[in-house]
Amino acid sequence: MPTPLQIVVCAGIVPDPLQTLEPVMTATGPGLKNEMMLPAVLDPWAASALYEAAALAQKNPGSKLWLLSLGPKGKLQQVMMTIAQKVAIELVPVDGPIGGFPDAHSTAAALAEAIQAIPGIDLARLFLFGGWESASRGAGVTLQLIGERLGITEQFQGVDQITLADNGSFEVLERVEGGKHQVSVCSSTPAVLGWATGNLAEPRNNPQIGMMNMRTVMPALQRAKSVQLDANTLNYASANLPQQVRQTQVEKNMSPAAIAAELVAWMGL
């Protein structure tokens, strides 16, 4: 018999990577130039986790899927207009700053508190999903810190697949070096899974799912709790784009053979 699951997916929103992202120093610390004007998308790493979670919940009737996201309410609403058409979710929004500079510890504390406040949540049955990495808070430790705060010690990073058994146990394929997977078997939940790419493509838009989700998304956004992320001991001296280095050598009248020989030498062949 399929086992009803409780899955919380932690997914941040990030500026659209197709835009020009220019770091600047602001009155409150480093940030992105015109950040609030930039269109936002769901973090691509966390999006993979969301699609895997939705497929898992669909295979196990009675499961609950929550999407937990921290960001300005206006930006969250913009992103949810798209995401809500792809998978059935219950949004748990937290109104706070976005960007790559907030401290991972304060971010994890705010998200762990939000998870504990979800009505009907049972931490003993919890699957905590998220991105293995992030296009925003890419410290690589935020999801782990959330799990530690919730007392979840079974944690896997770089996950590509999870297979559930009828007795409540599950098998996890976790990326390791050399293009191989480490196979782990857990007897039961709770567990933290930081997803890599997974195996599922992005779902198609479904207006019916979108209309169903928006009935709860908009009230949830209105009730979103505001948080101020503590910078703790972080201190950024500057925030700048990487400097381009270009070394150009102009040669005239080189023969094709000489050009080929120079390219071979440059490649170290």
Contacts of 132 (CB under 8 A, 6+ apart): 45, 140, 157, 158, 159, 194, 195, 196
Residue 116 burial (10 A CB sphere; 0-12, 13-18, 19+): exposed
What is the predicted pLDDT for the residue at 208?
Answer: 92
Res 248 pLDDT > 80: no
pLDDT band at 239 (very low <50, low <70, confident <90, very high): low
pLDDT band at 166 (very low <50, low <70, confident <90, very high): confident
Res 28 pLDDT > 80: no
CA 128 to each of CA 23, 38, 69, 152, 178: distance values in angstroms, whole numbers, following the listed order: 31, 29, 13, 9, 27
What is the predicted pLDDT for the residue at 227?
Answer: 86
Average pLDDT, the chain: 86
pLDDT band at 45 (very low <50, low <70, confident <90, very high): confident
What is the predicted pLDDT for the residue at 106?
Answer: 86
Res 207 pLDDT > 80: yes
What is the predicted pLDDT for the residue at 102?
Answer: 73
Per-residue pLDDT, averaged over 148-161, amounts to 93
What is the predicted pLDDT for the residue at 233?
Answer: 57
| Amino acid at the residue 129 | F
What is the predicted pLDDT for the residue at 2?
Answer: 64
**Rounded distance between C-alpha atoms, residue 198 and residue 220, angstroms:** 29
Q: What is the pLDDT of residues 79-101, one digit of tens each?
A: 999 899 999 999 999 998 876 66
Res 37 pLDDT > 80: no
The beta strand positions in 118-256, using DSSP E, are 126-131, 155-164, 170-176, 180-186, 191-195, 225-226
Res 126 pLDDT > 90: yes
Classify 106 in phi/psi space as left (phi over 0), alpha (psi -120 to 50) or beta: alpha
What is the predicted pLDDT for the residue at 235?
Answer: 65
Q: Are 205 and 85 contacting, i.e. CB atoms less than 8 angstroms apart? A: yes
What is the predicted pLDDT for the residue at 238?
Answer: 66
**Rounded distance between C-alpha atoms, residue 74 and residue 118, angstroms:** 22
CA 13 to each of CA 38, 84, 116: distance values in angstroms, whole numbers, following the listed order: 12, 14, 21
Neighbour tally for 181: CB within 10 Å: 14
Res 222 pLDDT > 60: yes
